A and B are shown apart, each in its own frame.
Chain A
Amino acid sequence: MYSEKVMEHFRNPRNMGEMENPDGTGKVGNPVCGDVMELYIKVRDNIIIDARFQTFGCGAAIATSSMVTEMVKGKSIDEALRISNKAVAEALDGLPPVKIHCSVLAEEALRSAIEDYMKKKG
């Protein structure tokens, strides 16, 4: 039911694991609903130079986390804020309809990490 690309990211998640001293952290989802995503970013001169994640969730949740961290690296904050859930799903060659919410979660995690960075920056 998953695309090859989803399975590939599920099997070999990129940027997986905690980040030491991140500039921004986003945590979204709820264990009761079955998905929790934590996304960390490192920012230099307004550019996201590194992103990592930790995720509790289904195959699609892990693959979207992995994909969004790949997509965001090297992007400016403004560019990163324009990454939509649709773009994440498309980059994975699509998601089953019941799993679209996983890409929404990935977008939300990214936004939340950026908001956290902005707040810290003041």
Chain B
Amino acid sequence: MRRIYLDHNATTPVHPEVLKEMENALELTYGNPSTLYLIGTEAKKKLEEARRRVASRIGAKTEEIIFTGGGTEANNLALFGICRARKKEGNHIITSKIEHDSVLNSAKALERDGFNITYLPVDSYGMVDPGELSKAIRPDTILISIMHSNNETGTIQPIKDMTEIAREKGIPFHTDAVQSIGKINVDVAGFGADLLTIASHKIYGPKGVGALYIKKGTRLQPILYGGHQEKGYRPGTEDVPGIIGFGKAAEISMKNTEDNRLVVLRDRLYNSLSERIEMVRLNGHPVKRLPNTLNISIEFVEGEGMVLALDDLGISVGTGSACATATLEPSHVLAAMGVPPQIAHCTLRFSLGWDTTDEDVDYVIGVLPDVVKKMRGFSPLYKEYLRKSRKEAV
């Protein structure tokens, strides 16, 4: 059966060129980069080449990139690392209500350790107000962590306005840019964050590899202890093949100028679906949004049911965050935006990628209205809605 993958915000397929470099590395580049003989020094060289590639992807200096075991670990390192290094200077952290679980749950763990956390609200588009950040800053604030763009809605945050506020007050600023890299231009030197998180598997690289950008001069403690690797910030023998794949993926994503094509496809998907299905609601900012992301609520049909029905038709989509599938709570992101829970339960997130074609989008436009029609046909909520609207018409 035809398979259409439209969940690129959850993860991406490995790019063929990445795969080729990794296969090569798994076979040949097995040396430990910390050793002195040729096989080791060659691995070290490749490791540093990957670091250079990742650094140039975000406009950083090579030595400012620390490889980690993924985005979650990089977010943990940023939050715990800064808080442990600066706990004598204060115990207040500012983040937002719409962060990824790896930031939110790190913040909650720090809260249990005695830190005070402010969770900034967002507006109905899922945007943090820099003015709210200014108001939240206290003399004992030691860290601000606000994501670059949101994984569920794609809403892009006004990061530069916020880093400027942080810099003025001398507070380290971390941004989780996992969803932005490879989708929009991310120039860390340009907007001036002190820490920035990247994940390889969101940019067509392998899973289990990520990086934390640490601006020169930022004080940070490790969260793992061991050898001297990654300047001691991330001890343990490096995942050389994974990092090489990550580097290649970063290099490819620089050349990739898919943004305009994806915006056109995505907007066609949304417009056609809203023409064919009543009561479709867009979640996220209409314009300041990742080019590939479309988050919609289709009222009176529960999201998971639609995901299962679409899967039977060969379409892979999510209801929001892949990490939240195991819980029954509606999305914390949509809740923070003020979306009522009964509507948040009816959500689908389409996220397009380089492998998405015009035909893929046409196919979804062709089949989704029938799926919705069928499921609304046995939805008691839709029945009530029809009765109510009939009464109002009379």
What is A's interface to B at a CB cutoff of 8 Å?
A: 2, 7, 10-11, 13, 16-18, 27, 31-38, 53-59, 61-62, 98, 101
Contact = CB atoms under 8 A, between A and B. Distances in A.
A59 B378 contact: no
A55 B328 CA distance: 17
Centre residue among B304, B328, B342, B380 by max chain A CB count within 10 A: B380
Contacts of B382: 56
Given A33-B328, A36-B380, A54-B378, 12 more contacts: A17-B377, A17-B378, A18-B383, A31-B341, A32-B342, A33-B341, A34-B342, A54-B379, A54-B383, A57-B302, A58-B305, A98-B326
A54 B328 contact: no
Contacts of A54: 378-380, 383
Of all A-B residue pairs in the complex, the 8 with the closest CB atoms, nearest first, are A31-B342, A58-B304, A34-B345, A56-B379, A54-B380, A38-B380, A32-B341, A59-B308
Contacts of B328: 33-34, 98, 101
A32 B346 CA distance: 11
Contact of A36 (B308, B327, B381): B381
B380 A10 contact: no
B333 interface: no
A16 B330 contact: no
A16 B345 contact: no
Nearest to B329: A34
Contacts of A35: 302
Given A11-B312, A56-B300, A57-B302, A31 B345 contact: yes
A33 B302 CA distance: 11
Interface residues on B, range: 20 to 34
17 contacts: A2-B308, A7-B308, A10-B308, A13-B378, A17-B378, A27-B380, A32-B342, A33-B341, A34-B342, A35-B302, A54-B379, A55-B378, A56-B381, A57-B302, A57-B305, A59-B304, A62-B305
Interface string B58-72: 000000000000000
A62 B307 CA distance: 14
Contact of A56 (B301, B340, B341): B301
Contacts of B345: 31, 34
A34 B328 CA distance: 8
Contacts, number: 63
Interface in B296-317: 300-302, 304-305, 308, 312
A18 B305 CA distance: 19
A7 B309 CA distance: 10
Contacts of A59: 304-305, 308
A98 to B, nearest CB: 6
B387 to A, nearest CB: 11
A59 B375 CA distance: 11
Nearest to B343: A31
Nearest to B340: A32
Interface string B354-394: 00000000000000000000000111111100000000000
Contacts of B301: 56
Nearest to B345: A34
A32 B302 CA distance: 11
A100 to B, nearest CB: 11
Nearest to B383: A54
A82 to B, nearest CB: 26
Contacts of A18: 383
Nearest to A96: B326
B341 A34 contact: yes
Contacts of B302: 34-35, 56-58, 61
A108 B328 CA distance: 19
B324 to A, nearest CB: 11
Contacts of A58: 302, 304-305
Contacts of A55: 378-380
B322 to A, nearest CB: 13
Nearest to B328: A98
Nearest to A38: B380
B12 to A, nearest CB: 22
Nearest to B308: A59
Contacts of B327: 98
B377 to A, nearest CB: 7
A34 B381 contact: no
Contacts of B381: 31, 36, 56
B22 to A, nearest CB: 29
Contacts of A17: 377-378
A38 B380 CA distance: 7
A34 B305 CA distance: 11
Contacts of B342: 31-32, 34
